[in-house]
C-alpha cells in the first residue's frame, strides 16, 4: 500500500521506476525503523510523501550522481579517498572563496571536503555554529543557499565530495521551533523536553554526565517563557530535541533531503549518541538512536542515494561500532564513524613512547560491516578527551586514572618529559578529567623545539600520526592547517565569543602567505606538506588499503614499536611504527611473523632488511611494507 502511495506521488517522474526499485531494496529498513520508534498512525504515509517531494526536487545532475554512486558505492572506502575539514570562513572567507581554493585541495589530494557548520546559527555565542537557528539558510557572511549549491557543483567537477554537519540533537534557542514553543504553541512545545519542576531533571541528572562542566554545568536550563526546565545537554542556548515526537523525524527527513538536493554528499550526524533519552542511563547510545538513523538513512537511500552519513559518536568501542551497524542494523545506519579511540591512542603512544596500550585498545574493536569505514583523524576542531579504559590499562600494568592524568599533564606541557604545548579544556574536579586543546603541530612539540633537529622531530611526530591515520583504512581526515604544521593561534582570546572556549586555539584562520611557502623544503610548512603529500600519493595506489578490510594492530617485543597488519586479496601490507624518539632494535621475527617476506617500504621506495637478525628503527620510523611496486 505504501509502495502504491509512493508510485502515485511519483506520478510521471521519469525515474519513478528507479525510485520504486530503491523502495523495494530499502523500504523495509524504513518501515522496521518506523515501527520500532514511531508506531503512530500516518507517520509512514507522511514519510513517503517527503521522499516523493525530495526526489521530485532533485536536479538531473544529482540524479546522475545517484546513478554513478549506486554503481560505485565504495567511493569513500577507496584508498584514494582523502578528507579535509575546515571552517569555510577561516579557510577562505566565504563559500565562493572556498570554490576559489579548489586547486589547493586538489594539489593536496583531497577528495572529500567537510565544511564545518555553515547553516544560520544563533547570533553571538553559537558553539562554533553547532547552535543552528535555520537549517534552510546559510550563514549570511558566507553566502546564500545558491552559493552552497554552486560550490557543491564546483567541488563535484573537481572530484571532491561535500560534507556538512547535521546538528540533530539540538537547535538554537532562537530557532523558530523554540520561538513558537516559548510563544505557547503546544505543537512546538512537544519538540523539546520541558519539565515544570526539578523532579524529572533531578532524576535524570543522577546518571547523566556533563559535557561542558565549565561553562554549561548540568543538563537542564530554566526558561521563564516555558515556565519549565528545558533539556540542554550542551550549552544553555542549545535546546535538545524530543526525538520521540514523529514530527521531529519528519522535519529532519525534509532537512536532509533539502541539503542533499543542494549537492551535499555526506552528512556528519553531530552528537548523534545523545538524541534519545532514557531515565537511569547516561542518555547516550540508546537502541532507538540506531532505529532512527536507520529510518533517516533509508529515506535518503530511496530519494537521494548518493548521500551518505558519518556518525559523530565519541563513545566507547563496544558502543561505537553500533553506529556502523551491528546485528539487524549492520550496513543500514551510518556509512562512516569517527575513530576517536585511534586518535586518542596515537597521542597516548607519542607521549608515553609506548604503543602497548594502543594494541590492547584496538583489539577491543569488533570488525565493522565491509560496506562501511572509519573516519580516521589526528586532530579535529574539538578537544581531545582521554577516552582510555581502566581495564585496558590494567592489562599492561598501568593505572587508568594515573595515565589519563599523565596525558593531561604531558599535553599542557606540565610534565618533565613533555614536548607539547596545549591547554586544559573543561577541567572537571568531580571526575579529575582534563581534556586538551591545541593544534597537532603544537601538541607534537613544534612550539617548544629549539633546534632544527627538534623541529624535525616535531614534524616527524605529526607525520607518524598521519601515517597511522592514512594507513589504518577508512577515510583519513586532514584537519585544516595540519598540512602546514600550523601552531596554536592564541589570538582567539581577543574575540569575545571565543575567549571562554580554548578550542579556538586550534581553529586558526588559514595563513595563505604561509601556504604559499609549501613547496619550500627549508620551512616547517614545506617539510610537513611534502611528508603528507608523499603519504597520500603512496596510499592512493595501495588497493590493500580499501576500507572493506580490517586493520589488526600487533605489539612487538619493544613497547615503542607497533605493527598495523592488513590482509587484503589485493595484497598484504604490514606497517611498522616506532612511536618514540629513541633508536630501537627489534628481532626480525617480530615483523616477519606477520610480513611473511614483505620487505619493500612503499614510502621510501626501498627494501628494508635486518642486520644480524635485528631491524634497526630510528626515532619515528614509519615503514609501509608490501610487495615491491609494479
Ligand atoms: C559535537 C561537535 C562539538 C559541539 C557538540 C555540540 O561534539 O563536534 O564541537 O560542541 O557536538 O553540538
pLDDT of 570:
86
Whose C-alpha lies nearest to ligand 1, atom 10? 127
Which residues sit opposite 223 in a β-bridge?
Answer: 228
Q: Which atom of ligand 1 is nearest to the CA of 380?
A: 8
359 CA to middle of ligand 1, Å? 28
3 CA to middle of ligand 1, Å? 38
Q: Which of 89, 265, 270, 460 is catalytic?
A: 270
- Segment 285-308 shows an average pLDDT of 98
Q: For residue 399, is pLDDT > 90? A: yes
- Please tell me whether residue 508 adopts helix, strand or coil conformation: coil
Q: Which atom of ligand 1 is nearest to the CA of 127?
A: 10
Query: What's the burial of 501, exposed, middle or buried (CB within 10 Å: 0-12/13-18/19+)?
Result: buried
Indicate whether residue 87 lines ligand 1 (CB < 6 A).
no
Encode pLDDT of 485-533 as tens digits: 999 999 999 999 999 999 999 999 999 999 999 999 999 999 999 999 9
Joined grid coordinates for residue 532: 603528507
- Segment 293-314 shows an average pLDDT of 98
Q: What is the mean pLDDT of the chain?
A: 97
C-alpha gyration radius of the chain: 24
Question: Domains of the chain: which residue ranges?
Answer: 170-240, 545-626
Indicate whether residue 127 lines ligand 1 (CB < 6 A).
yes
Is there a catalytic annotation at residue 288?
Answer: no
Q: Which atom of ligand 1 is nearest to the CA of 131?
A: 12
117 CA to middle of ligand 1, Å? 10
User: Which residue from 609, 597, 551 is spatially nearest to 575, judged by alpha carbons?
Assistant: 551
Q: Best of 164, 234, 315 to mutate for ligand 1, by most ligand atoms within 8 A of CB?
A: 234
Is there a catalytic annotation at residue 612?
Answer: no
Whose C-alpha lies nearest to ligand 1, atom 7? 271
Query: Of how many residues is the chain composed?
Result: 630
Whose C-alpha lies nearest to ligand 1, atom 8? 382
Whose C-alpha lies nearest to ligand 1, atom 4? 130
Residue 88's contacts (CB-CB under 8 Å, 6 or more residues apart) are 94, 95, 97, 98, 115, 116, 118, 142
Question: Cell 533519552 maps to which residue?
Answer: 277
Whose C-alpha lies nearest to ligand 1, atom 11? 271
Encode pLDDT of 188-246 as tens digits: 999 999 999 999 999 999 999 999 988 888 999 999 999 999 999 999 999 999 999 99
- Segment 435-441 shows an average pLDDT of 98
Encode pLDDT of 153-196 as tens digits: 999 999 999 999 999 999 999 999 999 999 999 999 999 999 99
Q: Quick one: angle between helices 43-56 and 2-10, nearest 10?
A: 30
Instruction: Determine what percent of the chain is predicted with pLDDT higher than 70.
Output: 100
Indicate whether residue 463 lines ligand 1 (CB < 6 A).
no
Whose C-alpha lies nearest to ligand 1, atom 3? 382
Distance, in Å, from the CA atom of 356 to the CA atom of 314, rounded to the nearest integer, reads 22
pLDDT of 346:
98
Indicate whether residue 377 lines ligand 1 (CB < 6 A).
no
pLDDT of 432:
85
- Segment 470-488 shows an average pLDDT of 97
Q: Best of 231, 382, 385, 387 to mutate for ligand 1, by most ligand atoms within 8 A of CB?
A: 382
Q: For residue 430, is pLDDT > 70? A: yes
Residue pair 623/538 in contact (Cβ under 8 Å)? The answer is: no
Q: What angle do CA 410, 509, 454 make, to 5 degrees?
A: 40
Distance, in Å, from the CA atom of 108 to the CA atom of 127, rounded to the nearest integer, reads 29
Cα dihedral 26, 159, 378, 548 sign: positive
Q: For residue 467, is pLDDT > 70? A: yes
Q: For residue 630, is pLDDT > 90? A: no
Q: Which atom of ligand 1 is nearest to the CA of 503?
A: 9
Q: For residue 249, is pLDDT > 70? A: yes
User: Which residue from 594, 609, 24 is spatially nearest to 301, judged by alpha carbons?
Assistant: 24
Q: For residue 32, is pLDDT > 90? A: yes
293 CA to middle of ligand 1, Å? 18
Q: Which atom of ligand 1 is nearest to the CA of 314?
A: 7
Distance, in Å, from the CA atom of 254 to the CA atom of 272, rounded to the nearest integer, reads 18
Instruction: Determine what percent of the chain is predicted with pLDDT higher than 90.
Output: 96
Q: Best of 163, 270, 426 to mutate for ligand 1, by most ligand atoms within 8 A of CB?
A: 270
Indicate whether residue 130 lines ligand 1 (CB < 6 A).
yes
Q: Best of 122, 125, 127, 497 to mutate for ligand 1, by most ligand atoms within 8 A of CB?
A: 127
Does the domain spanning 170-240 belong to CATH 3.90.400.10? yes
Residue pair 260/304 in contact (Cβ under 8 Å)? The answer is: yes
Least confident of 20-24, 316-320, 399-403, 465-469: 316-320
Indicate whether residue 128 lines ligand 1 (CB < 6 A).
yes
Encode pLDDT of 83-111 as tens digits: 999 999 999 999 999 999 999 999 999 99
Q: Which of 127, 312, 489, 590 is catalytic?
A: 312
Residue pair 129/235 in contact (Cβ under 8 Å)? The answer is: no
Q: Which atom of ligand 1 is nearest to the CA of 381?
A: 9
Does the domain spanning 545-626 belong to CATH 1.10.10.10? no
Domain pair 170-240 / 545-626, same fold: no
36 CA to middle of ligand 1, Å? 27
Which residues sit opposite 425 in a β-bridge?
Answer: 435
398 CA to middle of ligand 1, Å? 31
pLDDT of 317:
84
Whose C-alpha lies nearest to ligand 1, atom 9? 382
Indicate whether residue 234 lines ligand 1 (CB < 6 A).
yes
Report DSSP letters for 443-473, one per residue.
Answer: HTTTTT--SHHHHHHHHHHHHHHHHHHHHSS
Indicate whether residue 501 lines ligand 1 (CB < 6 A).
no
User: Which residue from 315, 377, 371 is spatially nearest to 342, judged by alpha carbons?
Assistant: 377
386 CA to middle of ligand 1, Å? 16
pLDDT of 27:
98
Distance, in Å, from the CA atom of 295 to the CA atom of 46, rounded to the nearest integer, reads 13
115 CA to middle of ligand 1, Å? 14
Indicate whether residue 129 lines ligand 1 (CB < 6 A).
no
Amino acid at each position: 500500500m505504501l509502495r502504491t502511495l509512493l508510485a502515485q506521488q511519483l506520478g510521471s517522474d521519469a525515474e519513478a521506476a528507479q525510485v520504486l526499485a530503491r523502495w523495494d531494496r530499502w523500504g523495509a529498513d524504513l518501515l522496521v525503523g518506523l515501527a520500532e520508534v514511531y508506531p503512530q498512525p500516518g507517520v509512514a504515509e507522511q514519510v513517503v510523501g517527503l521522499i516523493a517531494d525530495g526526489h521530485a526536487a532533485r536536479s538531473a545532475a544529482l540524479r546522475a550522481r545517484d546513478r554513478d554512486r549506486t554503481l560505485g558505492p565504495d567511493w569513500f572506502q577507496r584508498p584514494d579517498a582523502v578528507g579535509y575539514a575546515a571552517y569555510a570562513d577561516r579557510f577562505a572567507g566565504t563559500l565562493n572563496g572556498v570554490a576559489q581554493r579548489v586547486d589547493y585541495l586538489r594539489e593536496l589530494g583531497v577528495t572529500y571536503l567537510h565544511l564545518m557548520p555553515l547553516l544560520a546559527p544563533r547570533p553571538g555565542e553559537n558553539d562554533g555554529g553547532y547552535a543552528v537557528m535555520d537549517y534552510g539558510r546559510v550563514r549570511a557572511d558566507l553566502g546564500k543557499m545558491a552559493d552552497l549549491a554552486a560550490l557543491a557543483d564546483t567541488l563535484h567537477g573537481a572530484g571532491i565530495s561535500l560534507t556538512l554537519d547535521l546538528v540533530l540533537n539540538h537547535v538554537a534557542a532562537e530557532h523558530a521551533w523554540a520561538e513558537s514553543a516559548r510563544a505557547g504553541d503546544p505543537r512546538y512545545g512537544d519538540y523539546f523536553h520541558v519539565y515544570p519542576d526539578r523532579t524529572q531533571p533531578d532524576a535524570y541528572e543522577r546518571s547523566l554526565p556533563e559535557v561542558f562542566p565549565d561553562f554549561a554545568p548540568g543538563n537542564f536550563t530554566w526558561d521563564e517563557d516555558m515556565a519549565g526546565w528545558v533539556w540542554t545537554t550542551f550549552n544553555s542556548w542549545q535546546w535538545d530535541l524530543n526525538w520521540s515526537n514523529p514530527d521531529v523525524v519528519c522535519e529532519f527527513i525534509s532537512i536532509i533531503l533539502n541539503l542533499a538536493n543542494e549537492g551535499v554528499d555526506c552528512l556528519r550526524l553531530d552528537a548523534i549518541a545523545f538524541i534519545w533519552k532514557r531515565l537511569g542511563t547516561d542518555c547516550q547510545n540508546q537502541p532507538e538512536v540506531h532505529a532512527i538513523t536507520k529510518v533517516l538513512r533509508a529515506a535518503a537511500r530511496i530519494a537521494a542515494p548518493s548521500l551518505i552519513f558519518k556518525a559523530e559518536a565519541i563513545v566507547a568501542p563496544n558502543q561505537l561500532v553500533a553506529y556502523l551497524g551491528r546485528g539487524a542494523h549492520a550496513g543500514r545506519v551510518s556509512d562512516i564513524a569517527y575513530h576517536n579511540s585511534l586518535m586518542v591512542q596515537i597521542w597516548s603512544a607519542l607521549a608515553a613512547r609506548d604503543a602497548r596500550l594502543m594494541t590492547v585498545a584496538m583489539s577491543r574493536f569488533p570488525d565493522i560491516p565491509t560496506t562501511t569505514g572509519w573516519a580516521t583523524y589526528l586532530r579535529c576542531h574539538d578537544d581531545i578527551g582521554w577516552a582510555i579504559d581502566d581495564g585496558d590499562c590494567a592489562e599492561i600494568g598501568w593505572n587508568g586514572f594515573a595515565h589519563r592524568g599523565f596525558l593531561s599533564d604531558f599535553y599542557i606541557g606540565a610534565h618533565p618529559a613533555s614536548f607539547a604545548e596545549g591547554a586544559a579544556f573543561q577541567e572537571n574536579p568531580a571526575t579529575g578529567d582534563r581534556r586538551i586543546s591545541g593544534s597537532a603541530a603544537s601538541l607534537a612539540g613544534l612550539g617548544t623545539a629549539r633546534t632544527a633537529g627538534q623541529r624535525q622531530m616535531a614534524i616527524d611526530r605529526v607525520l607518524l600520526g598521519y601515517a597511522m591515520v592514512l594507513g589504518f583504512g577508512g577515510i583519513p581526515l586532514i584537519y585544516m592547517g595540519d598540512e602546514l604544521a600550523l601552531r596554536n593561534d592564541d589570538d582567539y582570546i581577543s574575540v569575545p565569543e571565543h575567549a571562554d572556549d580554548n578550542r579556538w586555539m586550534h581553529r586558526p584562520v588559514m595563513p595563505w602567505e604561509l601556504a604559499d611557502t609549501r613547496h619550500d623544503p627549508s620551512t616547517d610548512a614545506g617539510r610537513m606538506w611534502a611528508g603528507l603529500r608523499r603519504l597520500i600519493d603512496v596510499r592512493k595506489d595501495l588497493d590493500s588499503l580499501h576500507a572493506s578490510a580490517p586493520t589488526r594492530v600487533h605489539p612487538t617485543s619493544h613497547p615503542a614499536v607497533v605493527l598495523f597488519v592488513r590482509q587484503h586479496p589485493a595484497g598484504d601490507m604490514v606497517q611498522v611504527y616506532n612511536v618514540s624518539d629513541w633508536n630501537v632494535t627489534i628481532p626480525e621475527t617480530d615483523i616477519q611473523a606477520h610480513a611473511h617476506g614483505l620487505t619493500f617500504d612503499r614510502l621510501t621506495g626501498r627494501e628494508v632488511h635486518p642486520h644480524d637478525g635485528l631491524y634497526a628503527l630510528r626515532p619515528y620510523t614509519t615503514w609501509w611494507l608490501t610487495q615491491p611496486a609494479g
